[in-house]
Structure 1
Amino acid sequence: MAKVKTAFVCNECGQDFPRWQGQCTACKEWNTISELKISANKPARSSISGYAGEVGGGAKKLSEVAGVEAEKLLTGIGELDRVLCGGLTSGSVNIISGDPGAGKTTLLSALVALMSQIMPSLYCTAEESLSQFKNRVNRLKLNYSEDTLYLLSETSVEAIIEELEAKKVKFAVIDSIQAVVTETANGSPGSPSQVKSSAQALTQYCKKNNVTMFIIAHVNKNNEIAGPQTLVHIVDSLLHIDTNDGQIRTLRANKNRFGDVDTVGIFRMSERGMTSVDNPSEIFLSGSSTDSSGSAITCIRKGNRNLLLEIQCLTTETETEFPQRVCVGLNMNRIKMLTGILRKHTKTKIFHDTFFNIVGGLKIDESETCIDLALVAALLSSLNEFVVPRTTCIMGELSLNGDVRPIDSGVPRVKEAAQHGFTEIFIPYRNYHKSMEGLGAKITPVKTIHELLELIN
């Protein structure tokens, strides 16, 4: 009889311990450590296989290894193809994660419907019934092939692989990795051992049979993939959907073995599902034809994409002892810092309730400091009742001593603004380059906050 050992593993991060304890010392979570039974028998060497299904054969020279070019297939979903750097790689295994309601199932439902028109495709749902999936397909009015789209409600990895083999499926979606189990591992669904073993078995099958697969993964409260970090190393790409306050969804590749991870896809959640946004700048600009105070336009960078967006500010006389500071889509600490810089260097007194907003519902990362000048311009525009023309784009980082610091990728940002018809663009002095000439826009470099105020006021 095989000897059984006991291990204590954290369900959040996968860290193991010699005995049970209340708090995981690795991720600092409480009551996440569970007991697992592990067989002491080691598998035979011939039964061990790597994540790609290839182990053994001895060392080879590089010239003896056959080079196979990865085949790319356009999915028909423009922003997904953009993030995957030219389309879906044949035989790849991809994970997509995101908060509940982010649109993972909606996006992959549309994808499996499109793929069924090209190859036999299967959607395995371990979390909802087949009738629920069919209702979604009908609600979204998806076009699919009746003969090559298969639905499966199953939690056993072995049974899933049997169906993939029987139907000769070449594209599959597993929803989700935390809900399926394999006979080769102990523990309940979602436990570190089950998640790792299930992902490894599915990946090995896909690599050996050239099956392309998408796996949905849950996230924890820190917006990270739930389960062991080994899961990230097993698959070829890791996609994550970020949700904003509105209908905008951002798709980013945190890992991609067949391309770069700088590209960001923009989607809009609508009654027809996740629709690609080909020109995001149109969403993040209000489209108002009239000039009004309290508004400034800037250019941010999401991955390798430049997005024009409008920052709005409203200042009103306060009715309480302490003025309010409210911002939507912006970092409050940055707002406080910028108001402090204005008080120090421009003697501006802000005894008003101040409200900031990003048009389109986009959330700006704290690391995106190029919006500093636009924030200041919008604030002073509302406070002093002057108008920043809608044909003006302002970008630059503001330092604590009032100087305008350079930003990264200055030339691509300026070109993006010029292509959208902006006639005057304010940039940091050290970002100015001769290649910006001849774009049809007046490029105005500024060194300090005082120079900016003299030019726009």
Structure 2
Amino acid sequence: MAKSRTVYVCADCGGTTPKWQGKCPHCNAWNTLEETVESSTPAASAHRYAPLASTSPVRSLSEIEARETPRQPTGLEEFDRVLGGGLVAGAVVLIGGDPGIGKSTLLLQALASLSETSNVLYVTGEESAEQVALRARRLGLQTGNVNLLAEIRLEAIQSAVSEQKPTVAVIDSIQTLYSGELSAAPGSVSQVRECAAQLTRLAKQTGIAIVMIGHVTKDGALAGPRVLEHIVDTVLYFEGDTHSSFRLVRAFKNRFGAVNELGVFAMTDRGLRGVANPSALFLSQHEQQVAGSCVMATQEGTRPLLVEIQALVDSSHAPNPRRLTVGLEGNRLAMLLAVLHRHAGVSTFDQDVFVNAVGGVRITEPAADLPVLLAIMSSLRDKPLPRGLIAFGEVGLAGEIRPAPRGQERLREAAKLGFSIALIPKANAPRQPIEGLEIWAVDRLDGALDKLR
């Protein structure tokens, strides 16, 4: 009989320890150890370290032919953009997001499109076959060629995939699967790690593209061991407010394409539809100029986007003024306010400062520094910025304004959408004038504020 023992597995690094501890001894993370029952069967140890593919002799890297990986478009342009052009044979994609955000809907639409030219398989472990059929009917999808399997046992799924030999297989979701070789419950760290490793091995050996849906924790990170993200080839996050009709798909890891790409969808009664002009989603339509609003040109992967930054500065009635950001980094706001005081002489020590990126988009690049400060100054003075103004640029601690990458693409996107003034770093000033766009190039923060007096 197989022997089993209780161990504690770290949800971050996957390390094990025989007894519970407050801090993981492997990665020093706190409160990440979870109890699980580990089974040490000979079969489990035999296949666990099997190679992903057949071994090959040692060769010089220069002798290996480097060729472009063929892509298979999914039929959804925004999804293909995030994937890097489409699915790759043998690739493993992990997509996570909040419950009800639209992960299953997106992949069912993709499979319905792929089924017209390829053999596809949808494995559902969370819903019954009837529920999936009802969703497909509600969305109006042609699913006559979509094969469906309602199963959570890993060995049965592997057998079905080997028999059907699909081009693309979707696993909904990885947290519901379990392997009979492990005695742990489905969703536990050991089960998720083992099932993901087995499916990845199957994809590499057969050339089947596998897309796995993953749950997320209350912090927004993918549930399960952190090693799960290292096993797969691509990690996508489905973002957006369930109360809004817009959804964002962002790539955080992609071995076959660029990271930080952004796909924008609109949720309709017929499923998710790609948005051709996403800049329009993140710009508020004001009938007249308002104080505390500045439009910035940001870059998401290869796509320039125009996003409205709103700021509200109000007198504080508490000993410690509040500093709150939505869609931006909170610590960076405190730093920018210190730079504003030191190099522009504007003090906000007795003011509450609130900053928001419109549309639910998250901006992580430092090129948002200048638009944030301009919006704060506009709200503090209660004076709107000039009509048709956009801005971007990183602000350093010495008060200098540093250039942003791909400045020409940002400016062309702004000119295309009708903006007439661009307040940008001097290093990003275009050599050739852009029709309809007046350039205000500055190299210091005080110089940028002087332009707006």
CA distance in 2: counterparts of 1:251 and 1:42, whole angstroms: 36
**1:94 corresponds to which letter in structure 2?**
V
Amino acid paired to 2:83: L
Question: Which of residues 263, 266, 269 is equivalent to 1:265?
Answer: 263
Partner of 1:132: 131
Asked whether 1:89 is paired with 2:88, we answer yes
TM norm structure 2: 0.86
Consecutive unaligned residues in structure 2, runs of 5 or more: none
Question: Could you tell me how far apart the structure 1 residues matched to 2:336 and 2:61 are?
Answer: 56
- CA offset digits 1:225-261 (Å, max 9, x no partner): 3333443344332222233585443322233232232
Distance in 2, Cα, partners of 1:449 & 1:68? 48
Offset of 1:77 from its aligned partner? 0.9
Candidates 29, 33, 36, aligned match of 1:34: 36
Question: Does the aligned pair in 2 maintain the 1:9–1:36 contact within 8 Å?
Answer: no
- Which stretch of the first structure deviates more once superposed, 80-89 or 210-219? 210-219
Deviates more, 1:424-433 or 1:163-172: 163-172
Residue in 2 aligned with 1:443?
439
| Counterpart pick for 2:395 among 398, 416, 425 | 398
CA contact (8 A) 1:309 1:358 kept: yes
Q: What is the CA-CA distance between 1:318 and the residue it aligns to?
A: 5.9
Could you say which residue in structure 1 is the equivalent of 2:168? 171
**In structure 2, what residue type is equivalent to 1:187?**
A
Partner of 1:253: 251
Per-residue CA distance 1:387-426 (angstroms, 9 max, x = gap): 3223111112223343323333333322322332322211
* C-alpha distance in 2 between matches for 1:234 and 1:341: 42
Residue 222 of structure 1, CA deviation: 4.6
Counterpart position of 1:72: 71
Q: 1:127, 1:175 within 8 Å by CA — same for their partners in 2?
A: yes
Equivalent residues of 2:8, 2:20 under 8 A apart: no
Whether 1:227 and 2:224 are equivalent positions in the alignment is: yes
Give 1:8 shift.
2.3
Match of 2:187 in 1: 190
Q: SS of the counterpart of 1:178? A: helix
Task: Tell me if structure 1 keeps the 8 A contact 2:8–2:17.
Answer: no
The 10-residue stretch of structure 1 (92-101 or 314-323) with the greater mean CA deviation from structure 2: 314-323
1:335 corresponds to which residue?
Answer: 333
Cα distance in 2, alignment partners of residues 310 and 208 from structure 1:
47
- Partner residue of 1:452 out of 419, 443, 448: 448
1:171, distance to aligned residue in structure 2 (A):
2.4
Per the TM alignment, residue 323 of structure 1 is displaced from its structure 2 partner at its CA by 5.7
| Counterpart-to-counterpart distance in 2, 1:300 and 1:32 | 41
AA of the residue aligned to 1:160: I
Between stretches 337-346 and 54-63, larger displacement belongs to 54-63
Aligned residues: 448
- The reply to whether residue 106 of structure 1 matches residue 105 of structure 2 is yes
Structure 1 unaligned spans of 5+ = none
CA contact (8 A) 2:74 2:86 kept: yes
Match of 1:415 in 2: 412
**1:205 CA drift (Å):** 3.4
Contact 2:112–2:141 (8 Å) recurs in 1:
yes
Distance in 2, Cα, partners of 1:79 & 1:219 = 22
What is the SS of the residue equivalent to 2:356? strand
CA contact (8 A) 1:91 1:211 kept: yes
Asked if the contact 1:7–1:18 (Cα under 8 Å) also holds between the matched residues in 2, the reply is no
Distance 1:187 1:369, change over 3 A: same
SS in 2 for 1:266: strand
Q: Is the 8 A contact 1:5 1:40 kept in 2?
A: no
CA distance in 2, matches of 1:41, 1:153: 26
Q: State the 1:281 CA deviation.
A: 0.9
- Listed as ranges, the matches of 1:200-211 within 5 Å are 200-211=197-208
Q: Deviations over 1:316-359 (max 9, x none)?
A: 56677776554432333333333333334444355555443322
Q: CA deviation at 1:15?
A: 3.7
